[in-house]
Structure 1
Amino acid sequence: MKDSEFIFPTIVETFLKEGIAALRESEAEEVQRFLERSYIERPCNEQVVYALVKFYNAVADFVSAKEVGQSFLMMDGYNKEVLGELSATFLQLDDMETYFSLVKQQLEKESLLEEPEQELATPNNVVQFPKKIVPRRNAAQFSEWSTPEQLEFLQQARFHDVEPYILPFKAFLADATTSPFVKSMIFELLQEKRVDAMVVVRKAGMDDMFNPSKIPMLSQDDFTAQLSDALTRRFEHSNPSFLEQLLVIVQQHLFIMYPFAFPSEDITLWSEAYSKWLSQLYGNEWQDNTDVNPEQLIEAMQFIERMEQVQQNYLL
């Protein structure tokens, strides 16, 4: 059941267009109250559900995002925007298997809804069953599919030889306008399949060539582990909730830029930059570490802000 068009107040529109970073803490709280109240009143409205899931993702409340989004899909059927936003949710919950199953269910629903009626009469004694959904194996038009379709295809491709898909995957990776999230998923797949070939990757304003077989998996990256450890030591006891959000943001940025990395591997610099960036985002006072170069700190925070904008606005 589809609900009618919903008009959001300006502050919610600002969040949807510019992300949580564009809001003060009090404004973010106002957006949350409005969306949660609207959801109670109109739980089947696609715009409200999408906005609320997006908000929960932005504040790292992924459990709530999953509950709202999955409940809507079960009640209301197929919706690309909600399904696309849920990709970030399930990624952070480390539950992509469930997400891919959900994508498959929704795509099958859409396919069955669009199945044309048979023109020929069917004997009364024949029980009609829905046609079996045949997985799409021709990836020539991969870049034209929706993000959920692309992610479902990538999940299926893990069980097949990816050689027939290399050319469309390369084209997708080299296109600066395609989803950086899907690009990260493709690159991980090429790594898993040990593809030994140079590929051009353009994303988040960066451009370079990589050999998937020569790059360590993101989960095995030493810099990532060291930065997480540094942040943990810094806030584990003094501010655990702040630490939890910091680690989520760092992981999001690392994945969205993957296989690219931070401009430098100065752990102290990036620990300081992320800590100051998030603290200032919430309007808190911050005293700089005198051991960190001020100009480098500014540049690092500008890079973080750029990754946050990419994260908030990646193509779904």
Structure 2
Amino acid sequence: MKESDIIFPTIVRQFLKNGIRILSEDEEYTVQKFLEQAYVEQPCNEEVVYALIKFYNAKQAFEEAKEVGQAFLMMDGCNKSILGELSATYLAVNEMDTYFSLVKQHLEKEAQLNDFETNGMQEESNVIPFPKKIKPRRSITNFFEWGTSEQLEFLQQARFHDVEPYVESFALFLKDATTSPYVKSMVFELLQEKKVDKSFLVKKVGMEEQVNPSDTSLLGDGAFIKELIEKLVCRWEHSNPSLLEQLQAIVQQHLFLMYPFQFPITDTELWSEAYSKWLSQMYGEFWRDNPDINQQELIEAIKFIEKIEQAQQNYLL
């Protein structure tokens, strides 16, 4: 569904093309006010909705992004670009199950529209129609060329199929260092779900390894990540709960981005210190190092965090 065309000013087009990093603080304010006003005037305009969700994602205003996206979908909006941008929103708040539900609803709407186009104009009669044929599964041949939203839709549909015909293509996708690390995580989770017992070469965010889905822990199930989150909660729950909320979200995002890989060092005290120092200093806050932490390891851990964060921004903006 699409309302009247809207002409974006140059600064908004620059944001959509190059991301929020090119904007000054004043320019960010200008872009936000323009998009929010345009949304008030045209809440069903697909270009405005997409741009506003993208802006909110860039500002990590994920609840606002979800609200705009859900409102659009509730008004029978069907748009793959918007669904694709919403995948970044739900990934950031660790609610991909909700996102997949939205994708499912989107697919059902498309099917209903197709049925209407095929049968809606036919005159009523006493003839009982034959059952509709089940649509054949989409070919995976061009999986590499699809956008992220199309790839995620395919993976959602593949959960209901035998994935054996897709394994070879998935293997090529996983070992290509240029493909989306987020989609790779989804592919690997699907192979786990289907209990595929085969070793795959996985390359992502500068790491590579032969990994067998059937021998790998489910995402978030490991003792390491649970212990790390517990340390962060213990450290910040009372002194700075808003910082804790951000730290938990960032750690979960990084974990998903790396999956099936893990952090290179298993010292949770080190990573609690590294994430806390990294985010605190991003806000310009004074930081006093813990003398019990090896400073060289701390430097390397922060470098690793920055590398993962950079990779994440490259795929979200």
Q: TM-score range by the shorter chain?
A: 0.7 to 0.9
The Cα shift of 1:199 comes to 0.5
Please give the alpha-carbon distance, in whole angstroms, between the structure 2 residues aligned to 1:315 and 1:57: 8
The Cα shift of 1:28 comes to 6.6
TM-score normalised by L of structure 2: 0.81
Please give the alpha-carbon distance, in whole angstroms, between the structure 2 residues aligned to 1:133 and 1:145: 23
Q: 1:172 to 1:271 in 2, by over 3 A?
A: same
Q: 1:245 to 1:210 in 2, by over 3 A?
A: same
**Would you say 1:237 and 2:247 are equivalent positions?**
no
State the match for 1:7 in structure 2. Answer: 9
Please give the alpha-carbon distance, in whole angstroms, between the structure 2 residues aligned to 1:253 and 1:175: 20
Q: Is the 8 A contact 1:25 1:283 kept in 2?
A: no
Moved more, 245-254 or 193-202: 193-202
Q: 1:234 to 1:74 in 2, by over 3 A?
A: same
State the match for 2:250 in structure 1. Answer: 249
Kindly provide the CA deviation profile for residues 148-202 of structure 1, in whole angstroms up to 9, marking residues without a partner as x: 2322222232233221211111111112222211110111111122222110111
Name structure 2 gaps, 5 residues minimum. none
State the match for 2:85 in structure 1. Answer: 85
Kindly provide the CA deviation profile for residues 258-292 of structure 1, in whole angstroms up to 9, marking residues without a partner as x: 11122211212211111122112222222222222
State the match for 2:167 in structure 1. Answer: 166
State the match for 1:71 in structure 2. Answer: 71
Q: 1:38 to 1:122 in 2, by over 3 A?
A: closer
Please give the alpha-carbon distance, in whole angstroms, between the structure 2 residues aligned to 1:290 and 1:25: 37
The Cα shift of 1:69 comes to 1.2
Of structures 1 and 2, the one scoring higher in RCO (CA 8 A, sep 6+) is: 1
> Which amino acid is the alignment partner of residue 191 of structure 1?
Q
The Cα shift of 1:54 comes to 3.1
Q: 1:55 to 1:273 in 2, by over 3 A?
A: farther
The Cα shift of 1:74 comes to 4.3
Please give the alpha-carbon distance, in whole angstroms, between the structure 2 residues aligned to 1:26 and 1:179: 32
Identity %: 60
State the match for 2:298 in structure 1. Answer: 297
**Would you say 1:225 and 2:218 are equivalent positions?**
no
Aligned residues: 312
SS at match of 2:293: coil
Q: Is the 8 A contact 1:227 1:267 kept in 2?
A: yes
> Which amino acid is the alignment partner of residue 145 of structure 1?
W
> Which amino acid is the alignment partner of residue 212 of structure 1?
P
State the match for 2:99 in structure 1. Answer: 99
State the match for 2:289 in structure 1. Answer: 288
Please give the alpha-carbon distance, in whole angstroms, between the structure 1 residues aligned to 2:262 and 2:141: 30
Q: 1:143 to 1:232 in 2, by over 3 A?
A: same
Please give the alpha-carbon distance, in whole angstroms, between the structure 1 residues aligned to 2:46 and 2:299: 39
Please give the alpha-carbon distance, in whole angstroms, between the structure 2 residues aligned to 1:87 and 1:248: 15
TM-score normalised by L of structure 1: 0.81
Please give the alpha-carbon distance, in whole angstroms, between the structure 1 residues aligned to 2:288 and 2:18: 31
The Cα shift of 1:82 comes to 1.8
Please give the alpha-carbon distance, in whole angstroms, between the structure 1 residues aligned to 2:26 and 2:6: 29
Q: Is the 8 A contact 1:151 1:182 kept in 2?
A: yes
**Would you say 1:152 and 2:153 are equivalent positions?**
yes
**Would you say 1:196 and 2:197 are equivalent positions?**
yes
Please give the alpha-carbon distance, in whole angstroms, between the structure 1 residues aligned to 2:31 and 2:243: 20
